[in-house]
Amino acid sequence: MTENATGNETLVPAILLRAEDPRPVVGITAAVHGNELNGVHVIHRLLEQLKPVHLHRGTIVAVPIVNIPGYLRQQREFEDGTDINRIMPGRANGNESELYAHRFIDRVARHFDYLIDLHTASFGRVNSLYVRADMTKPVTATIARLLSPQIIVHSAAGDGTLRAAVEDLGAHAVTVEVGDPQRFQRGLVRSARLGIVEVLEHLGMVDDLSDPDTHDVIECKRSYWLYTDRGGVLTVLPNVTDTVHEGDVIARLQNVWGDVVREYRAPEDGIVVGKSVNPAARAGSRIIHLGVVAAR
């Protein structure tokens, strides 16, 4: 993908499964952020299931680690400190991270008809299994629901993201947040894998391989983070996927002597999509990611 200062190439692993009819092309990517590893295991387990299977049509392009330099450093960012999921599609004549992003789009992602981009929370935070998708787009909404996560959050793709870059090229794309950073969580990995299989079945690429997880999926019309307004020792009370109601206490902030200096309350009814688990809170630290549930 690029070359380091010794002239050696940085190679990105990609696994292809291809039928005689090569379309559609489904890209499954993980570790765009180098410490977000549940998606790596999702891809490994998915390939274990699919390799003996005859693809009826289409191509699967699985990229278990997009951000190789970040993965090697066990960090979210690229080696120059840039979040490459904020600079897609990069630049052919750009700096290190921009060139890396450009070449990934040009050599790999531009071929996708569909993208399932696997992420996790960042250090100090935890996530539910949730999908970010533009639910105003019928094809994208169908994919999001087939993935059968705990929560779906309606969200247009943000500028600079891999999802936005491939959508600009005409692909249908969703982001799947699979739990927590720098670890494998078997239950969430299994659920994400089963959801991807459902998508492949829907596209006519594979036979019915397994029964999907059956549970209610909560769809949110929007979501946002709540933040502290001062620093201290933070305790966040609800867990991910918990329902909270307007006025509920969601967190307490103590000073270093143990005195409660702030209580934070839910501004409206919603569901906890993600939360902070880092007690050391500066002013402006995240508390919870609150999803506002769509009317059914």
pLDDT given for residue 268 in this prediction: 97
Question: Radius of gyration over alpha carbons of the chain, in Å?
Answer: 20
- pTM over 0.85? The answer is yes
Q: Where are the domains of the chain?
A: 2-202, 221-293
118-to-33, 235, 257 alpha-carbon distances in Å: 10, 28, 41
Tell me the C-alpha distance between 91 and 137, whole Å.
28
Asked if the 2-202 domain carries CATH number 3.90.76.10, the reply is no
- Residue type for position 165: A
Q: What is the pLDDT of residues 61-77, one digit of tens each?
A: 999 999 999 999 999 99
57-to-48, 83, 85, 200 alpha-carbon distances in Å: 19, 35, 30, 10
The DSSP line for 157-191 is PPTTSHHHHHHHTT-EEEEEEES-SSS--HHHHHH
Q: What is the pLDDT of residues 203-252, one digit of tens each?
A: 999 988 776 666 789 999 999 999 999 999 999 999 999 999 999 999 99
For residues 53-61, average pLDDT: 91
Tell me the C-alpha distance between 33 and 69, whole Å.
10
Q: Which fold has domain 221-293?
A: OB fold (Dihydrolipoamide Acetyltransferase, E2P) (2.40.50)
Of 158 and 17, which is predicted with more confidence? 17
